[in-house]
Amino acid sequence: MYIRSIRTRLTIWYISLLTFTLLIVGGAAFGLLSYSLSHEMDNALDSVARALVERDQSPTATFPPSEIDQAFRRFFGFSPWDRYFQMRDPSGNRDERQSLPSTGKLPLSKKALDNAMKGLSSFETVEGLGEYPVRILTMPVMESRRVVNMIQVGMSLKSIEETKLRFLLIMAGALPVGLVLASTGGWLLAHRALKPVDQMAAAARRISAEHLSQRVDEPGTGDELDNLAKTLNQMLSRLDAAFVQVRRFSTDASHELQTPLTVLKGELEVGLRSTRTPQEYRATLESALEEVDRIAHLVDGLLLLARAEAGVLKMDRQEVDLGQVLEEVYFRLKPLAEADSIEFRLGSIEPLRVKGDCERLQRMTTNLVDNAIKYTGAKGRITVELKRENGWASIVVSDSGIGIPSEEQEQIFQAFYRTSEARRLAQRGTGLGLSIAQSIAAAHGGTIRVESAPGRGSSFKVLIPVVS
């Protein structure tokens, strides 16, 4: 089952990890406790046995119960308890006089006997002597490297078993309580940490296309959520700007289309109002055709921009001789420049080839040269050059025209943007030429830049990767 809420998922993860950690830590603590208790008991048994052995090592030594008790009490430090003491001769026979009263008799395993014969002590745990298992130490009493006796001391594991049980009970009681407390805390923490996300989601829901100027609250904490809010707001700003641009684009486009359509309609209406001579009809039709051309040109430009924007601009990619493209544009537009008494020159043209669409590259250059002609007065100069610049083909169209104020040099690449000086000077122009040129340059992996100063002229530079 997939749990949708991050809060719940976090809490479940948290509880699972905590349970796992507590079980591991609890298990390790239990193991350590058992080990150290057993170790301590073995040490104490060893000390009791040694104390008794050292007291008297003669084969006939006797151990009054009070002394044995005293030894036990010294090393175990508590009473009453089930303790055992037993003397055996080297063949393993019990010395009945030397056992503690009121306790069972200690067994002697073959292994312990063998070990004792070799002079080694053995620890064993045996069951059945009382309610709890008994830990026994069998220690040989040596005299001149000979085993003269065997001492067995034993101790019930009752206290150890009880301590271990108490530990387990505490763990079993504390674990669920701890888990409940921790999971409640985990849930509250997750709730608190994710609250800003809920707030952001609610704010984002309120923002629609009409209210893109609204922003989500930024907590200002500098953490991941603050970062998320900032990123959302940056995205909203970009969306907002894009929406504004799209709106302006459609308003401008309708406006630009409306003007020639109104003119066209007016001309046709006037033409139809009364009977005209064939020459007058012809003049009317020619004028109407001019407007239709203008509309067609505009629609064509809009379509190209829309396709370029959507990344579906069709390109007939081939190796293109850029020099040839520039020459064709030069010879086609030279008469237009000359008609305005402008000196139009072809500067140095290097034979460079690029991968691209010949027609589109022609259109891009035409737009730049056409602008230069439009915005350069009589006696002005225009130069077109083609050079290689670090693996790029650089087309430079420079003129001595009206220039562009620096604060408008970025905006002129937006569709329909025209400087007020340009509006005053040239009636013809749609404001699409540079946007189209830029889209074509971009579609060829290139860029377009302008350097200009008002009254001193402009220089447009297009960079396109050269085919090496």
**In 3-state terms, what secondary structure has residue 331?**
helix
Q: Which is nearer to ligand ADP, 321 or 410 (CB)?
A: 410
Q: Which is nearer to ligand ADP, 294 or 374 (CB)?
A: 374
271 binds ligand ADP (CB under 6 A): no
**Site map 151..190 versus ligand ADP, x via CB under 6 A:** ----------------------------------------
Q: Which is nearer to ligand ADP, 214 or 459 (CB)?
A: 459
**Is residue 409 within 8 Å of 450, Cβ to Cβ?**
yes
The closest of 362, 368, 363, 393 to 464, measured between CA atoms, is 393
Taking each helix axis from N to C terminus, what angle separates 278-310 and 224-273, rounded to the nearest 10 degrees?
Answer: 170
Q: Which is nearer to ligand ADP, 11 or 430 (CB)?
A: 430
Q: Which is nearer to ligand ADP, 196 or 401 (CB)?
A: 401
305 binds ligand ADP (CB under 6 A): no
Choose which of 294, 418, 444, 461 interacts with ligand ADP (CB under 6 A): 418
Shortest reach from residue 270's CB to ligand ADP, in Å: 28
Q: Which is nearer to ligand ADP, 86 or 419 (CB)?
A: 419
Instruction: Please give the angle made by the CA atoms of 360, 349 and 430, to the nearest 5 degrees.
Output: 35
By CB under 6 A, the residues from 343 to 372 that bind ligand ADP are 367, 371-372
Shortest reach from residue 206's CB to ligand ADP, in Å: 38
419 binds ligand ADP (CB under 6 A): yes
Total residues at the site for ligand ADP (CB under 6 A)?
Answer: 23
249 binds ligand ADP (CB under 6 A): no
**Site map 371..390 versus ligand ADP, x via CB under 6 A:** xx-xx---------------
Cα end-to-end distance, the chain, whole Å: 59
**CA quadruple 368, 373, 377, 382: dihedral, nearest 10:** 70
Phi then psi for residue 410, to 5 deg, are -85, -40
* Nearest-angstrom CA–CA distance, 417 and 419: 7
The closest of 193, 194, 212 to 203, measured between CA atoms, is 212
**In 3-state terms, what secondary structure has residue 261?**
helix
**Is residue 382 within 8 Å of 343, Cβ to Cβ?**
yes
Residues in a beta bridge with 395: 386, 462
Shortest reach from residue 345's CB to ligand ADP, in Å: 15
Q: Which is nearer to ligand ADP, 196 or 403 (CB)?
A: 403
* Nearest-angstrom CA–CA distance, 429 and 298: 10
Shortest reach from residue 250's CB to ligand ADP, in Å: 17
Shortest reach from residue 399's CB to ligand ADP, in Å: 5
For the chain, the C-alpha Rg in angstroms (whole number) is 51
Residues 6+ apart with CB under 8 A from 448: 413, 434, 437, 438, 441, 460, 461, 462, 463
**Beta-sheet strands, E only, within 89-211:** 94-95, 122-126, 134-143, 146-156
433 binds ligand ADP (CB under 6 A): yes
87 binds ligand ADP (CB under 6 A): no
401 binds ligand ADP (CB under 6 A): yes
Q: Which is nearer to ligand ADP, 196 or 380 (CB)?
A: 380
Shortest reach from residue 4's CB to ligand ADP, in Å: 52
* Nearest-angstrom CA–CA distance, 15 and 184: 10
431 binds ligand ADP (CB under 6 A): yes
Binding site for ligand ADP (CB under 6 A): 367, 371-372, 374-375, 399, 401-404, 412, 417-419, 422, 429-435, 458
